Amino acid sequence: MGDLTPHFDRSEFACKCGCGFNQPHPELAARLEGARILLGVDLHVTSGCRCLLQNNQVNGSRNSLHLLGKAVDLSCNTPPFRHTLLTVALQAGFTRIGIGPTFLHLDIGTEGVSPKAIWTY
């Protein structure tokens, strides 16, 4: 059992620099929980919350939603799993999705960004 949702702990979203930022937005956590339930297998968070220092170290966007706890990257290493995770993310209500070679970026951005977008890295 997680301390954030039934399947996720705050520690999974903690900034990698060790600063302690581990507060994902409640809507992000709820949608991720929905995706996890639909998928039926654990999801591995590779990047959750980021402070400005960490965001700069990973060359994140200046306006990255990771800075606000409104974005997450999930491990996704095979084309079949990528397809399944993409399908489930859409079913769980995610409308902003980035597809990377080893991860899927999901966010709940609304202000200053297109509310519906799928892009590649």
Q: Is residue 30 part of a domain?
A: yes
Phi and psi angles of residue 120, each rounded to the nearest 5 degrees, phi first: -120, 160
Give domain status of residue 1, yes or no: no
Left, alpha or beta for 64 (phi > 0: left; psi -120 to 50: alpha)? beta
Question: Per the structure, how many domains does the chain have?
Answer: 1
Instruction: State the average pLDDT for the chain.
Output: 96
Residue 68's domain spans which residues?
Answer: 10-120
Q: Which of 93, 89, 114 is nearest to 104 (CA)?
A: 89
- 100 in a structural domain: yes
- pLDDT per residue as tens digits for the range 94-121: 999 999 999 999 999 988 789 999 999 9
pLDDT of the residue at 1: 66
- What is the tens place of the pLDDT at every residue in 43-74? 999 999 999 999 999 999 999 999 999 999 99
Q: 1 or 100, which is more confident?
A: 100
Average pLDDT over residues 81-90: 97
